[in-house]
Structure formats: C-alpha cells, structure tokens
Structure 1
Amino acid sequence: MEISDWRNKIDELDEQIVELISKRAEAAKAIGELKAKTAMPIYEPQREKDVFEHVKKVNPGPLADAELIHVYERVMDVMRTLQRQ
C-alpha cells in the first residue's frame, strides 16, 4: 500500500474511534447523572484502576501497556469532566 492508502485507512479508523468515544461519553454521562442522584463521588480511584487493568488485559499491541494507559488516562480525565457538567 502507498502512504495515501494508509492515510485513508487511518481516516476510516478515526471515524470509528470517534463513534466509539462518543458512545463511551454517553455512557459516562449517564453514570454521572446517576452518581449525582445518589451523591456518589465522580472520581473513583478503584474503578479507574479496574479500567486500566482491563484495557491492559485486552491489549493486542503494538502499543505497549504503558502507552495505552497514557491514552486511557486522558480519556478518563475527559469523561470525569463530562460527568461533572
């Protein structure tokens, strides 16, 4: 494949990633609303740890676990902000 083919493939994958992140955000927002109704804290360190462990467990590579966790740290941060709104 040529560079342009790979870039087109990346564009297609980005579209799928955006769709999945949006679905994740909808779920996080719904959880945030439930937390607000029950006075639960937005930040739950154990849940975050569980998420990180889960994504490491299902990580097929080529990203190293540490790199994947860096991505998920940012995702979790954005989702917490969404829950606070």
Structure 2
Amino acid sequence: MLSQDRQRIDEIDEQIVSLLEERYDCVSHIAKIKKDNHIPVFDKTREEAVLEKIRQMVSNEDYADSIVETFNQIMMVSKDYQKSK
C-alpha cells in the first residue's frame, strides 16, 4: 500500500513539474512584457485575487491553507524569476 501511494505521488510530481514548466513559460513571457513596458513585477491586487481564486478552487477545506501557501510560494519564486530577466 505504501509503495503504491508513493508511486502515485511520483506520478503526480511528474505532472506538477510539467505544469510548472508550462507556468514558467508564461511567467517568462510576462516578465518580458513587464520589462519592455516598465511595469513593476509586484502587483499586490493581482496576487491577492489569484490567492483568493485558488482558495475558492480547493474542494477539501482541510487542504485550503496549505494549497494557498503553496501558491503563495510559487508566486514569490516567480517574482524572483521575473526580476532576474
């Protein structure tokens, strides 16, 4: 049972990595647009809206805080990535 659960997590991790790569493709494109148009990387209103939307998407309330925090971390790293471009 444990090995099956771990195998399933490994499969999910593969999907997450693929989706994160796709997300970073978008982040990279957005970073270029922001840089070319002198738009700040940080947009508090947008971040708050995204996190609220994520919270509403979570179907299991027990996971909501953890999932929102995960996305908060993803956005923090994405901002650092944008700043480096």
TM-score, normalised via structure 2 length: 0.92
* Comparing 21-30 and 58-67, the one that deviates more: 58-67
| Structure 1 runs, 4 residues or longer, greater than 3 Å off | none
Q: What is the RMSD computed on CA atoms of the aligned residues? A: 1.2
Equivalent positions of 1:26-65 (< 5 A) are 26-61=25-60, 63-65=62-64
For 1:2-21, list aligned pairs within 5 A.
Answer: 2-21=1-20
Higher relative contact order (CA 8 A, sep 6+): 1
Matched, 1:73 2:82: no
The CA deviation string for residues 32-71 of structure 1, in whole angstroms up to 9 with x for no partner, is 1000011000000001001101111111226432221211
Structure 1: stretches of 5+ with no match in the other structure:
none
Identity of aligned residues (%): 26
Partner deviation per Cα, 1:10-31 (whole Å, 9 max, x = no partner):
0000000011111111101110
Alignment partners' CA distance in 2, 1:71 and 1:26: 19
- Unaligned segments of structure 2, at least 5 residues: none
How many residues are aligned here? 84
